[in-house]
Amino acid sequence: MKVCVAEEAGFCFGVKRALEIIEQLHEKGQNICIYGQLIHNTTVLDDLKARGIDRIDSLDQLDPVKTLIIRTHGIPKETENLLKSRSIPYIDATCPLVKKLQQVIEKLASTSTQLIIVGDKNHPEIIAARSYATSEFSEPIIINSEEEANDLEYFDRIDVVAQTTLDVDLFNQIAFILQNKTKHFQIHNTICKATQVRQTAIKKLAPNVDFVIVAGGKNSSNTRKLFNIALKQNKNTFHIESSKELFNPYFIRKIEHFNSVGITAGASTPPDEIDKIKNFFEKFTIEKEMNHGRTERNSNAER
Ligand code: SF4
């Protein structure tokens, strides 16, 4: 089987940075815990937990001897203010590109524009980023589909921003609809570069292979976007969280007649997980060829 890994896949700059911060503190023997899911990857989170780096979901759970690490998706402004007011030691591992989105929202919300955020209103990044719109001028509107954009009324002025991991094509389609709903329209493309290059790479690879594997957390926004993009190009697209899922006999039956696989992975997927997937299919090829050879030899012997 031909095994191709997308030109850009796996760990992004923001995730690497957060893990490096944690690694350095852990090596120094500092007592730390993480606010929320640091990143959306179970293998990485389990590994941190095994090394005594716990996660808390509310400040009430915080052990006072521990320094709090803020996850890559950020936390709401009011929670950060609470940390400051209670003098709780914390280190901010929010991705700088998520921070940039928060700053853009904070700035625009203090003007008379109608701010529209395109993203998932239940995702931690958007919950945190939305909290930066503290002005009394207008409430930001959060939408996540062309239908929701079509349903909006006319505004004198619109500024639109995006969740950092949004599908680039969806953002462009929504922006196209919104520009007809105002006289003054301004786009702020806050989709991060890592997201854009990973989406472009899988768009290029998916139509040229028999099937696609997208690796990453089921709750990872950028992984789900990669899955949907790949699925549009190739109906034989599979989303897995871990390479262990490949050993499933039902899955093997589905792919055994294919001759090529394309692999991509979300921004929270470690490189060794991508290597395990690649090795699985390379080994799968060798075993398939050996079995084929054995079958041929047996039928020759019978003749
Ligand atoms: S996907 Fe982009 S915004 Fe999110 S952590 Fe990675 S670099 Fe930062």
Half-sphere exposure of 201 (CA within 13 A, CB side): 20
Q: Which amino acid appears at position 103 of this protein?
A: Q
pLDDT, one tens digit for every residue, the chain (303 residues): 899 999 999 999 999 999 999 999 999 999 999 998 888 888 888 999 999 999 999 888 988 899 999 999 999 999 999 999 999 999 999 999 999 999 999 999 989 899 999 999 999 999 999 999 987 767 899 999 999 999 999 999 999 999 999 999 999 999 999 999 999 999 999 999 999 999 999 999 999 999 999 999 988 889 999 999 999 999 999 999 999 999 999 999 999 999 999 999 999 999 999 999 999 999 887 666 666 666 566 666 665
Is domain 13-94 classified as CATH 3.40.50.11270?
yes
Q: Whose CA is nearest to atom 8 of ligand 1?
A: 14
Distance 112 CA to ligand 1 centre (A): 29
Distance 256 CA to ligand 1 centre (A): 35
Is domain 97-191 classified as CATH 3.40.1010.20?
yes
Cβ pair 202, 264 in contact under 8 A: yes
Nearest atom, ligand 1, residue 98 CA: 3
With a CB cutoff of 8 Å and minimum separation 6, the contacts of 47 are: none
Ligand 1: does its nearest atom lie under 6 Å from the Cβ of 124? no
Q: pTM, whole model, 2 decimals?
A: 0.87
Ligand 1: does its nearest atom lie under 6 Å from the Cβ of 129? no
Domain extent listing, the chain: 2-9+194-292, 13-94, 97-191
Domains 13-94 and 97-191 share a fold: no
Within 10 A of 285 (CB to CB), how many other CB atoms are there? 15
Q: Which of the listed CATH numbers 3.40.1010.20, 3.50.50.60, 3.40.50.200, 3.40.50.720 matches domain 2-9+194-292? A: 3.40.1010.20
Q: Please state, in angstroms and as integers, the Cα–Cα distance from residue 241 to each residue in 78, 269, 276, 277, following that order.
A: 33, 9, 12, 11
Ligand 1: does its nearest atom lie under 6 Å from the Cβ of 222? yes
